[in-house]
Chains A and B, each alone.
Chain A
Amino acid sequence: MTTRDDTFAKVTALIEPFNKKALPLTDDVRFAQDLEWDSLTVMDFVAAVEDDFDIIITMNMQAEIETIGQLVDAVEKLKA
C-alpha cells in the first residue's frame, strides 16, 4: 500500500461511525451533499482526524475541502 492508500483507509475508518446512509466511500464522495453532514458532525470528525494524524486542519483549509479525496490529499500534505 502507498501512504496515500494508508491515509485513505484511516480516514474512511474515521468516517464510518458518521456514515449513516452506509454509502460506499470513494474519493468523490462529498461530505455535505452525499454524507449529509451538518456543521457539528464536521467539527467532531475533523477533531478526530486531527488527533489521529497529529495535525491541524484549520477552518480556512476546511472551507476548501468538499470531498473525501480532497481531505486525504490535505492530510498527506499536512503530515509531510
Chain B
Amino acid sequence: MTDAGTLREDAPVEALEHPSAPDLLAKFDPLIAERQALLDTGVRDPFAIVMTKVLSPTEAIIGNRPTILLGTYNYMGMTFDADVIAAGKAALDEFGAGTTGSRVLNGTYQGHRECEDALKEFYGMDHAIVFSTGYQANLGMISTLAGKGDYIILDADSHASIYDGCWLGNAEIVRFRHNSVEDLDKRLGRLPKDAGKLVVLEGVYSMLGDIAPLKEMVAVAKKHGAMILCDEAHGMGFFGEHGRGVFEEAGVQDDIDFVVGTFSKSVGTVGGFCVSNHPKFEVLRLVCRPYVFTASLPPSVVATAATSIRKLMHAGEKRERLWKNSKRLHQGLRDLGFTLGTKSAESAIIAVILSDQTQAVGMWQALLELGLYVNMARPPATPAGTYLLRCSLCAEHRDEQVGQIIEMFSQAGRAVGCIAQG
C-alpha cells in the first residue's frame, strides 16, 4: 500500500548510477514501424474507427457517412430494443449509475440477482454467476477450476480470454489441434489417469466462424473422465431449440459441466456469465478472483441484460432471419469468387480470407468508402497466419441491405483485384 506519508523526509533520493535503463516500450518498435509503413501508403487505420452516431443495430455514421454495420456481434439486434432500453433507463433512475463495489461486498443489487435468475431460466440450469465481462468470465472460471497439478486441455484456436485464463492459474496446459477429435482423444489418453482435467471448448470459433464437433468431443472428454467448459459467446441466441448455443443443438446439454457466455453479443450490452448444474458451484463466488476483485456491472447494464435474455427465449423469428441473412451472404460472396473460412454458413460469422495485409487493408478501406464496415483481423488473432475480413450478420439486416452488401463486395473486390473482373 502506498501512502504519501511513508517517505521519510530525511532520506534524500540519490541520483541513479544508470539513468538510461531501456525504454520498456522499445520492444514494440517493429510493430510501430510496420503500422507506420502501412499508414504511409495512404490507407486509413483499420483499428482507429470512431462511430459518431449509431442509428440502429445495423447502421452508424462513420466520418459523416451513413455506414452499414457488418462487423458487430449484435447478432439478434437487441441494442435498440424498446423494452431493453426502457429497463436500462428505469434502473438508472432507481439504482444510480454504478455500484462502486465488488459482487461479494456492496455490489450485488436486486438487478444482479434478477439477471442471474434470467440466465438460470434461459439455460434451464441450477446456478448462474454474472461477471463484469465475458473476458473475465473465462479468466475467472478457468483459473479457478483448474489448480496446481490439474490439466487444462484446450483447442489451439481458443480465444485469448481462454489462454489468459490458463496463464492466470497454476494448471498444466495442453493444446490439441483445432477441432480435431482424434487429437483431443490422444492427448487426454497420455495424461495421468488420476489428475483433474478440464477440457475447454468453444461452440463457435469467432475468427473463421466454424463450429466445433461438440457431440464427438464431449464423448471423448467424458470417456477420459474430464470436466467440460464450453464457451458459447458466439452461439447464444440462435443455436438449438432454446437458443442456448451449439452445445444444445449438438444434444450434449447434460454432459457440459460449465457454459460460459457473454452479454456483449446476442444479449446486446456488456458482461459475462457462467451457468452450471454443479452442486458446489456457488463456492466460486468466494474463490474466483476475477469475480471478487472487481466492481460489479452497473444497474442499468444488468437490467438491460436480464430483459434482453428473457426476450431471447422467444426470438424464433429473429433466429430465422439471422440464419437466412447468413446463408444468403455466404452464398453471395462465394458466387462472387471470394475464398471463405467455411464451405457453408456454419454460424453468423463469415470470414473472407485474403492473401496479405495490403490486400486486406485495401479491401477493408474500399468497403468503408462504399459505406460498409467489416472487421479486419490479422495474426496473431487469426489462425494459420491469415488476413481476414470478418463479416457478422444481424437479424435486423434488411433484405435490401444484404443485397447492398453483396454489391459493395463485388465492386470493392474488383477494384482491389481480389476477385476477377466480372
Enumerate chain A interface residues (CB-CB to B < 8 A).
Answer: 38-40, 43, 47, 50-51, 54-56, 58-60
Contact = CB atoms under 8 A, between A and B. Distances in A.
17 contacts: A38-B379, A39-B380, A40-B383, A40-B384, A40-B385, A43-B156, A43-B175, A47-B183, A51-B186, A55-B190, A56-B174, A56-B191, A58-B151, A59-B166, A59-B173, A59-B174, A60-B172
For the residues of A in contact with B, the DSSP-based class is helix
Contacts of A40: 383-385
Contact of B177 (A39, A47, A55, A56): A47
A43 B155 CA distance: 11
Interface string B173-192: 11101000001001100110
A56 B383 CA distance: 22
Interface string B16-60: 000000000000000000000000000000000000000000000
B187 A56 contact: yes
Interface of B: 151, 156, 166, 172-175, 177, 183, 186-187, 190-191, 379-380, 383-385
Contacts of A47: 175, 177, 183
A40 to B, nearest CB: 6
A51 to B, nearest CB: 7
A24 B177 CA distance: 29
A43 B174 CA distance: 11
A32 to B, nearest CB: 14
A2 B13 CA distance: 59
Contacts of B172: 58, 60
B232 to A, nearest CB: 24
Nearest to B380: A39
The 6 nearest A-B residue pairs measured at CB:
A59-B173, A58-B172, A56-B190, A58-B174, A43-B156, A58-B173
Given A60-B172, A60-B173, 15 more contacts: A38-B379, A40-B383, A40-B384, A40-B385, A43-B175, A47-B183, A50-B187, A50-B190, A54-B190, A55-B190, A58-B151, A58-B173, A59-B173, A59-B174, A59-B175
A55 B187 CA distance: 8
Contacts of B177: 47
A58 B172 CA distance: 6
Contacts of B191: 56
A55 B191 CA distance: 9
A50 B153 CA distance: 14
A80 to B, nearest CB: 14
A25 B175 CA distance: 26
A47 B166 CA distance: 19
A20 B373 CA distance: 38
B269 to A, nearest CB: 33
B385 A38 contact: yes
Nearest to B192: A56
Contacts of A39: 380
Contacts of A51: 186
A12 B156 CA distance: 24
A39 B157 CA distance: 12
Pick the most buried of A38, A39, A56, A59: most chain B CB atoms within 10 A of its CB: A56
B152 to A, nearest CB: 9
Nearest to A58: B172
A56 B197 CA distance: 14
Contacts of B156: 43
A43 B175 CA distance: 8
Contacts of A50: 187, 190
Contacts of B190: 50, 54-56
Nearest to B178: A43
A36 to B, nearest CB: 13
A41 B166 CA distance: 21
A30 B379 CA distance: 22
